[in-house]
Amino acid sequence: MNEPADLLLVGAGLGGLAAALACARQAPRLRGIIVAEQAAALQEVGAGIQCGPNMTRRWRNWDVMAPLRELAHAPGAVVARDAASGHELGRLNTRDFETRYGAPYLTVHRADLQAALAAGVAQVSDRARLMLGARITTLTSHGDEIHAQAPAWSGPLRARLLVGADGLRSAVRSRFWPGVQVPDTGELAWRGMVPMRDLPERLRRPEVQAWLGPRMHVVSYPVRGGEWLNVAAFTEQHGPLPTADEEGRGAWAGEGRLADLLQATGPVCTPLAETLAALPGLRRWRVHARAPLRGADDMHLRADSPIALLGDAAHPMQPYLAQGAGMALEDADALAQALAAHGATPAALASYAQQRWQRNAQVQARAARNGRIFHAAGPMRWARNLALGTRPQLMDLPWLYRY
């Protein structure tokens, strides 16, 4: 009988692909890495993401910096503005991040990042293999092995280790951590993109702009070499979403309407209103987040278990630190280091989880705190604006970016 794979990763999102690539490059003792993805083709839902040095230095380590640099945008600054007046509240220079942190601050489309990671995995196909159309329906533990079954397979796939990188609605988490809840936070995320050429010159800003208002904020920045503007809005008012389809998707995501978004944001300054009105379409998602992790067993089932979680499957967080993808890539790097040190053993997963859980918990907590600051109303809003104006260094996050 053929030997089992050393590592089965469930999910080919950013975390799963990054883990496959990192493990193939950094853990040469692994004999087989398989990424099982239920979709028939890679289709990254979403739009742009901000990528701090804690992400981009890993791109360099995994040899994907060159293709991504061509597709990404270097914004030069992060600018906080009052959503109602448009006045600048604070500015963080990001041009010197390469010098200060050893890696740049870039913005990129999620699909471009996913494609670059997938291309990286293809380059190490002797070590790692991506299996599309692999919807795993059964996961069972058999002694020192995990057996996975998918309708497209003639028999079970055997692996020494299983890592669930299958996102917010993780099947691996549901199967092995059935009591974990990832509640709806009562917030909505709205996303859209518009070609820069379709915007008037006054709205073509090269920076990351964060427009802060009571119970809402909007972030905009260029992606795809500066040719598109990505816009993401976050509000605390739910509107009706479509009825769920047979896979439950409509229960948490759907098309968005500009009128509903503007009702949720309340009055905003003219430049922001014009930017939102220029979007040819909107998608909206209900925001879900897990409470900060409390221990390593939130990521690794138990000390002798061959099962662990990675990225949003383990620690979905509110988007107010722009670090969901960042933590998934950090997880991938840590997993590769642990497997290089311990081989394909439960001890490697124990080491990985022990290294990562506190960092992830800290970022989860800070993301929630940022949400309260960004969406402050009344006197808290005034205090926030004053602090950003007098101490713009508050926008810098060396504890995050140096990791």
Please state the domain extents for the chain. 5-46+110-179+290-368
CATH 3.40.50.10420 assigned to domain 5-46+110-179+290-368? The reply is no
Residue positions counted in the chain: 403
Q: Rg of the chain over CA atoms, in angstroms?
A: 21
Rounded CA-CA distance 333/18 in Å is: 8
The end-to-end CA distance of the chain, in Å, is: 43
One pLDDT digit (tens) per residue for the chain, 403 residues:
478 999 999 999 999 999 999 999 999 999 899 999 999 998 766 689 999 999 999 999 999 999 999 999 999 999 999 999 999 999 999 999 999 999 999 999 999 999 999 999 999 999 999 999 999 999 998 888 999 998 888 788 999 999 999 999 999 999 999 999 899 999 999 999 999 999 999 999 999 999 999 999 999 999 999 999 999 999 996 555 544 444 444 456 788 999 999 999 999 999 999 999 999 999 999 999 999 999 999 999 999 999 999 999 999 999 999 999 999 999 999 999 999 999 999 999 999 999 999 999 999 999 999 999 999 999 999 999 999 988 878 899 999 999 9
Q: What would you measure as the largest C-alpha separation in the chain, in angstroms?
A: 69
Residue in 88, 392, 83 with CA at minimum distance from that of residue 211: 83
Which residues face 138 on adjacent strands? 149
The pTM for the full model equals 0.95
Q: Cα–Cα–Cα angle for 194, 200, 202, nearest 5°?
A: 110
Rounded CA-CA distance 243/281 in Å is: 20
